[in-house]
């Protein structure tokens, strides 16, 4: 698998994806091509049971866009937009648990990428998160207006976006934007362990839960209930469900296989 700005490895059943596109891990043709390649790899059966997204650049997760490239907007740049939106949608819909390790600033499109993950952990210190596009006279355009609102509610999301606020780690935790604030030196190891523990769960059931939740959020309560009923009929007959029930009745730890 050839990658130019992303690094990829599988450790303890966790696909570790590191962004390495200085100076700001900006979205662009190379970034999107690599992300699409990684998404294709993650779609292969047995490739990984969880994913961890982080950055190889110290003190920076991603700023999303290189502002210097936005002075002149042409069709080639606009053509990247639907590609980026589709890639982030695919990442959010991955049928495995996803974790983001925010080792530094996660702003604009970078934070929109982080919002596609199931869990976000941030390093204590000077990192900031937010969608400050309004300060440039722009709007979040990679799903941020929707995902942020789903996460924190309309009023809080509008406040954050209208003011272009950039929150410190503890403020982000209080607002519900991150799962926990961790020491910078232990952030990666904690996130890898967290993802690995999720990978040992019944990931087939996790995929079904994610599908029901995402359909409900996007299409409403009734469609969410329909999806829940659909995946329940599939899940209840799967190998992991049998193993979980047998293990409970036999008073032993289950050995889940992810299906």
Consecutive H or E run containing 119: strand 119-123
CB 52 within 8 A of CB 191: yes
Beta-bridge partner residues of 14: 11, 50
Per-residue confidence (pLDDT) for residue 134, from 0 to 100: 97
Q: How confident is the model at residue 68 (pLDDT cuts 50, 70, 90)?
A: low
Per-residue confidence (pLDDT) for residue 138, from 0 to 100: 94
Evaluated on CA atoms 118, 191, 43, 254, the torsion sign reads negative
Model confidence, pTM: 0.94
Residues present in the chain in total: 259
Q: What DSSP letter does each residue of 175-233 carry, written as one string?
A: HTS-SEEE-HHHHHHHHHHHHHHHHTS-HHHHHHHHHHHHHHHHH-HHHHHHHHHHHHH
Catalytic-role residue among 92, 133, 227, 228? 133
Lowest mean pLDDT among 61-65, 75-79, 125-129, 211-215: 75-79
Taking residues 241-247, report their average pLDDT: 95
pLDDT per residue as tens digits for the range 173-224:
999 999 999 999 999 999 999 999 999 999 999 999 999 999 999 999 999 9
Query: Does the pLDDT at position 71 exceed 70?
Result: no
Per-residue confidence (pLDDT) for residue 181, from 0 to 100: 98
Per-residue confidence (pLDDT) for residue 79, from 0 to 100: 83
Q: What proportions of the chain, in percent to the nearest 5, are helix, strand and coil? A: 50, 15, 35
DSSP state of 242: H
Which domains are present in the chain? 6-199 (3.90.226.10), 203-249 (no CATH)
Query: Does the pLDDT at position 77 exceed 80?
Result: no
Query: Does the pLDDT at position 8 exceed 90?
Result: yes
Catalytic-role residue among 92, 112, 227, 228? 112
pLDDT per residue as tens digits for the range 94-152:
999 999 999 999 999 999 999 999 999 999 999 999 999 999 999 999 999 999 999 99
Per-residue confidence (pLDDT) for residue 70, from 0 to 100: 67
Taking residues 156-170, report their average pLDDT: 98
CB 117 within 8 A of CB 99: yes
Query: Has 112 been annotated as catalytic?
Result: yes
Query: Has 47 been annotated as catalytic?
Result: no
pLDDT per residue as tens digits for the range 9-46:
999 999 999 999 999 999 889 999 999 999 999 989 88
Give the pairing type, strands 50-55 and 98-102.
Answer: parallel
């Amino acid at each position: 698998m050839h990658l130019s700005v992303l690094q990829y490895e599988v450790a303890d059943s966790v696909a570790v994806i590191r962004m390495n596109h200085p100076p700001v891990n900006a979205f662009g043709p190379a970034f999107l091509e690599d992300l699409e390649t990684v998404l294709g790899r993650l779609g292969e059966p047995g490739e990984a049971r969880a994913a961890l997204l982080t950055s190889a650049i110290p003190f920076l997760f991603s700023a999303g866009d290189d502002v210097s490239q936005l002075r002149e907007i042409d069709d080639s740049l606009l053509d990247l937009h639907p590609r980026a939106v589709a890639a982030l949608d695919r990442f959010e819909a991955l049928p495995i648990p996803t974790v983001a390790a925010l080792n530094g600033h996660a702003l604009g499109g970078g934070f929109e990428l982080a919002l596609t993950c199931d869990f976000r952990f941030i390093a204590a210190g000077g990192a900031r998160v937010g969608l400050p596009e309004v300060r440039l006279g722009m709007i979040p355009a990679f799903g941020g207006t929707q995902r942020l609102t789903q996460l924190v509610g309309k009023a809080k999301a509008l406040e954050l976006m209208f003011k272009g606020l950039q929150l410190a780690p503890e403020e982000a935790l209080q607002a519900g934007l991150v799962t926990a604030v961790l020491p910078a030196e232990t952030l990666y190891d904690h996130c890898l362990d967290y993802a690995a523990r999720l990978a040992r769960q019944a990931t087939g059931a996790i995929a079904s839960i994610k599908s029901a939740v995402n359909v409900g959020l996007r299409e409403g309560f009734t469609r969410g209930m329909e999806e829940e009923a659909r995946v329940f009929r599939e899940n209840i007959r799967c190998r992991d469900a049998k193993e979980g029930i047998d293990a409970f009745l036999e008073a032993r730890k289950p050995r889940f296989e992810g299906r």
